[in-house]
């Protein structure tokens, strides 16, 4: 578990490079070819973009009860993320000098929403709503078509609720390349965000530099820190909620100083696995990255959490608020027995697009900041320039940059009224 990293085979990397190259060279034709090859769906160029009428029909045809909860979840996500919006700032640095930052949105963003096997409308909300709050002027979603060529009505309804500007029927490396470089149909974007299978993550790595990306995300992870107060049924259920995702490389770990809890969780995992619809997927994941670890105390448990730097941490302990103060490396922390990880996945309002595979040591969840950038502002005066000129010239000449030094000298030699 501690050595867990996102690694890709040379063969897979080479395959992704070929797909990107084909899309750059052949545009829509390549996107359609790879969609036919990988998704088994034969589309026309006109079908790559979902029309406004289709969005409206989806909103009307989707289950009204589901639309109601999607709207409620969107409201929660919007309310939480509005607190993240940063404002411009400036300081008076003396001598009439003003220094500051302007906070501006990234103009065009492409959001990757998996969904061939299940309608992941929650991921669309998690990516699109922060982008909308940031003020992005063009928000595009790429999501795979179902076998009949349609996109699930719940996904399209979520796109409408979140304020998405365009939805493309495409996914995989071909969609990443199309969004990064543009095609006859795809408008090129400035940043890509969102999860996806390994091919998508490799493609994101390959196009980084042409566009920005949020992160390279791997399979889901959870570490549950439990003490004697924990309900072993809850701990096991939460571990399985991540192990069932399907890649077989998800990680699910329980860390506890209580041997009785450890034994009870082990028993519960076996019992609950028997009734799980994705039993084989979960068993594969647990065989690779499943563990129950007994520590000497909760302090050692937190040390282990920081070593792993997992995507999700649950603290089902007597005083979770105090214990969480020691956590430095985690994507999200869930405190107390009611804070099951799926609460954050769907409804609390916090973001579920989180760093994995140890990336929580340096990375954060997707949020409003993901879709913002800073522009530094410098407003100098002649008075301050005269005071600073000697230092600037000395530094420039020490670096061998005569042009830099000269740009300051000519100002000292120029009368202020010119």
The tens place of each residue's pLDDT in the chain, 418 residues long, gives: 666 566 688 999 999 999 999 999 999 999 999 999 999 999 999 999 999 999 999 888 999 999 999 999 999 999 999 999 999 999 999 999 999 999 999 999 999 999 866 789 999 999 999 999 999 999 999 999 999 999 999 999 999 999 999 999 999 999 999 999 999 999 999 999 999 999 999 999 999 999 999 999 889 999 999 999 999 999 999 999 999 988 889 999 999 999 999 999 999 999 999 999 989 999 999 999 999 999 999 999 999 999 999 999 999 999 999 999 999 999 999 999 999 999 999 999 999 999 999 999 999 999 999 999 999 999 999 999 999 999 999 999 999 999 999 999 999 997 766 6
pTM of the entire predicted model: 0.95
Kindly state whether residues 274 and 389 are assigned to the same domain: no
Among 153, 180, 213, identify where a domain stops. Answer: 213
> What is 107-171 written as a DSSP string?
SEEEEE---SSS--HHHHHHHHHHHHHHT-SEEEEEE---TTS---HHHHHHHHHHT-SEEEE--
Kindly state whether residues 102 and 229 are assigned to the same domain: no
Q: Which residues are catalytic?
A: 311-312
88 is a domain residue: yes
Kindly state whether residues 104 and 155 are assigned to the same domain: yes
Kindly state whether residues 73 and 191 are assigned to the same domain: yes
Kindly state whether residues 390 and 310 are assigned to the same domain: no
386 is a domain residue: yes
In angstroms, how far is the first alpha carbon of the chain from the final one?
A: 67
Q: Give the angle subtended at the CA of 143 by the CAs of 140 and 147, to the nearest 5°.
A: 150
376 is a domain residue: no
C-alpha 52 chain-centroid distance: 27
* CB atoms closer than 10 angstroms to residue 67: 21
Kindly state whether residues 135 and 227 are assigned to the same domain: no
pLDDT tens-place string over residues 266-319: 999 999 999 999 899 999 999 999 999 999 999 999 999 999 999 999 999 999
147 is a domain residue: yes
pLDDT tens-place string over residues 234-281: 999 999 999 998 888 999 999 999 999 999 999 999 999 999 998 999
Element holding 15 (H helix, E strand): helix 10-26
Q: Which residue range(s) make up the domain with 404? A: 381-412
What tokens were used for 37?
A: 């090859």
């Amino acid at each position: 578990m501690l050595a867990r990293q996102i690694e890709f085979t040379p063969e897979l990397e080479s395959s992704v490079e070929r797909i990107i190259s084909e899309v750059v060279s052949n545009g829509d034709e390549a996107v359609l070819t790879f969609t036919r090859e990988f998704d088994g769906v034969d589309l026309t160029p006109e079908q790559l973009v979902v029309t406004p009428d289709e969005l409206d029909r989806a909103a009307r045809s989707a289950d009204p009860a589901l639309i109601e909860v999607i709207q409620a979840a969107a409201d929660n996500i919007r309310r939480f993320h509005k607190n993240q919006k940063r404002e411009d700032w400036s300081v008076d640095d003396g001598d009439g000098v003003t220094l500051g930052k302007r906070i501006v949105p990234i103009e065009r963003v492409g959001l990757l929403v998996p969904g061939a096997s299940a309608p992941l409308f929650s991921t669309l909300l998690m990516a699109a709503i922060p982008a909308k709050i940031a003020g992005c002027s063009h928000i595009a979603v790429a999501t795979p078509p179902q076998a009949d060529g349609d996109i699930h009505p719940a996904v399209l309804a979520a796109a409408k609720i979140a304020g998405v500007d365009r939805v493309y029927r495409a996914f995989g490396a071909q969609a990443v390349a199309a969004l990064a470089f543009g095609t006859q149909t795809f408008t090129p974007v400035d940043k890509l965000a969102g999860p996806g299978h390994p091919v998508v993550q490799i493609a994101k790595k390959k196009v980084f530099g042409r566009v920005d990306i949020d992160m390279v995300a791997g399979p889901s992870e959870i570490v549950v820190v439990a003490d004697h107060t924990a309900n072993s049924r809850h701990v096991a259920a939460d571990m399985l909620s991540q192990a069932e995702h399907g890649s077989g490389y998800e990680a699910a770990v329980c860390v506890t100083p209580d041997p009785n809890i450890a034994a009870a969780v082990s028993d519960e995992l076996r019992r609950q696995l028997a009734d799980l619809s994705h039993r084989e997927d979960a068993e594969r994941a647990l065989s690779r990255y499943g563990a129950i670890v007994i520590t000497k105390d909760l302090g050692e448990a937190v040390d282990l959490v920081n070593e792993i730097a997992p995507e999700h941490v649950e603290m089902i302990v007597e005083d979770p608020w105090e214990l969480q103060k020691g956590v430095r490396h985690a994507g999200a922390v869930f405190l107390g027995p009611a804070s099951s990880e799926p609460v954050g996945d769907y409804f609390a309002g916090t973001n579920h697009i989180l760093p994995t595979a140890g990336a929580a040591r340096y990375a954060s969840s997707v949020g409003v900041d993901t879709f913002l950038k800073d522009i530094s502002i410098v407003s100098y005066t002649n008075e301050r320039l005269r005071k600073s000129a000697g230092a600037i010239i000395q530094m420039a000449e020490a670096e061998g940059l005569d042009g830099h030094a000269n740009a300051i000298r000519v100002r000292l030699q120029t009368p202020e009224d010119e």
